[in-house]
């Protein structure tokens, strides 16, 4: 089978590897049909590391994916604890928690102490033709949903989890800093939750146009405007109730402190390029802000699938570019270079 492997910074090679062996008990073999490129994939592609996890051997990236079940092992049950038939189109949760540690048992599998995650070294991801996964990570897609939509349920889940952490209430004001795919999905979920107004900032004009299409009440291009002053003025000096930081850190984190109102909440969703992040403590303390860091997602597929089925979120509107697996290197180069007005890239099987 073909597989796209990262050998070092910006060095993706298309290799031929053996197809994984037959699925064992509780496992499924999935023929991958669609993989979305995520911002965390780009971090690893650019730096050959993400945070404190560095690439130490060739790695198959990819964790937003869906495909058809090519085979199942004995006692294989899907994410709903139902039998998983061959041929079923499924979205796959890339996280494999232990289900036994204190955090898993406490309802936080995203914080599992022994978590394995597709595409995070040393665990290979989905940019290949076939992948063997625990059957319980497979969520069947109803008729009418495509593999591309199934793949993008993962970033939608990240957005749902972030909004959950904010305890967002109807008519609360929101700022979303960053109009990449996660920021756009947070925008959509915030709107569906009744937030008003929702203001989105980004440095790229075409991403702000996407934010307008997704329903943003106001957009701010940060290279032409002071986002702090613009948002504070738009809220008559008050600031917003909730700020979602969905950029790559840097000034966005500092701006979030200035944009939030007294008693406001800040949800840090973006992954900064550097491990250390500077936050202005004095205004944060004086305002009595709550700052929370969002870690991936948990328990979201059962909510995300009906949302997409009802077309309350149109995931394919995010996609601007598609590449076959054999051109995954070109897909990453385009995405990392912010070329051709890219928003979301999907690699198809």
- Token reading at 31: 């023929």
Residues 6+ apart with CB under 8 A from 203: 221, 222, 223
Cα 190 to its chain centre, rounded Å, is 16
Among 6, 19, 318, which residue's Cα sits nearest to residue 184? 318
User: What is the per-residue pLDDT for 249?
Assistant: 67
Q: What is the pLDDT of residues 19-59, one digit of tens each?
A: 999 999 999 999 999 999 999 999 999 999 988 889 999 99
User: What is the per-residue pLDDT for 225?
Assistant: 84
Beta bridge partners of 72: 28
User: What is the per-residue pLDDT for 105?
Assistant: 92
> What is the C-alpha separation between 310 and 329, in angstroms, rounded?
35
Superfamily, domain 2-151+314-348 = Medium-chain alcohol dehydrogenases, catalytic domain (3.90.180.10)
> What is the C-alpha separation between 119 and 125, in angstroms, rounded?
4
User: Same fold for the domain at 2-151+314-348 and the one at 156-293?
Assistant: no
Tokens 């898993």 identify what position?
A: 104
pTM of the model: 0.95
User: What is the per-residue pLDDT for 349?
Assistant: 87
Our CA dihedral for 169, 170, 173, 176, rounded to 10 degrees, sits at: 70
Tokens 């979120």 identify what position?
A: 313
What is the overall mean pLDDT for the chain? 95
Reported CATH class of domain 156-293: alpha beta
User: What is the per-residue pLDDT for 224?
Assistant: 83
Our CA dihedral for 200, 204, 208, 214, rounded to 10 degrees, sits at: -100
Among 282, 288, 286, 248, which residue's Cα sits nearest to residue 266? 288
Question: H-helix or E-strand containing 183?
Answer: helix 181-192
Segments making up each domain of the chain, as ranges: 2-151+314-348, 156-293
User: What is the per-residue pLDDT for 274?
Assistant: 72
Q: What's the angle, vertex CA 300, arms to CA 299 and CA 306, rounded to 5?
A: 135
User: What is the per-residue pLDDT for 86?
Assistant: 95
Residues of the chain with pLDDT under 70: 249
């Amino acid at each position: 089978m073909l597989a796209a492997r990262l050998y070092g910074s910006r060095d993706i090679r298309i290799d031929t590897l053996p197809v994984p062996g037959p699925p064992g008990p509780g496992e499924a073999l999935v023929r991958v049909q669609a993989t979305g490129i995520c911002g965390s994939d780009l971090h690893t592609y650019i730096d050959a590391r993400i945070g404190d996890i560095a690439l130490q051997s060739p790695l198959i990236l990819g964790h937003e994916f869906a495909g058809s079940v090519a085979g199942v092992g004995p006692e294989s049950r899907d994410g709903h604890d139902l039998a998983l038939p061959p041929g079923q189109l499924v979205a796959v949760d890339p996280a494999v928690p232990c289900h036994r540690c204190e955090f898993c048992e406490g309802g936080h599998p995203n914080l599992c102490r022994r978590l394995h995650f597709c595409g995070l070294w040393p665990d290979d991801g989905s940019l290949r033709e076939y992948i063997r996964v625990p059957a319980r990570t497979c969520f069947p897609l109803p008729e009418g949903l495509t593999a591309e939509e199934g793949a993008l349920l993962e970033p939608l889940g990240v957005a749902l989890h972030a909004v959950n952490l904010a305890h967002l209430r109807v008519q609360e004001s929101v700022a979303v800093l960053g109009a990449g795919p996660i920021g756009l999905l947070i925008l959509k979920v915030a709107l569906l939750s009744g937030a008003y107004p929702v203001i989105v900032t980004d440095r790229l004009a075409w991403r702000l146009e996407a934010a307008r299409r997704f329903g943003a009440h106001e957009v701010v291009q940060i290279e032409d405007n002071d986002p702090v002053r613009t948002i504070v003025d738009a809220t008559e000096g008050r600031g917003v109730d909730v700020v979602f930081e969905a950029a790559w850190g840097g000034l966005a984190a500092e701006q979030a402190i200035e944009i939030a109102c007294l008693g406001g909440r800040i949800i840090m969703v973006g992954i900064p390029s550097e491990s250390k992040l500077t936050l202005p403590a004095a205004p944060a303390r004086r305002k009595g802000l709550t700052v929370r860091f969002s870690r991936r997602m948990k328990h979201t597929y059962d909510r995300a699938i009906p949302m997409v089925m009802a077309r309350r979120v149109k995931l394919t509107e995010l996609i601007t570019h598609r590449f076959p697996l054999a051109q995954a290197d070109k897909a990453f180069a385009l995405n990392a270079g912010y070329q051709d007005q890219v928003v979301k890239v999907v690699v198809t099987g």
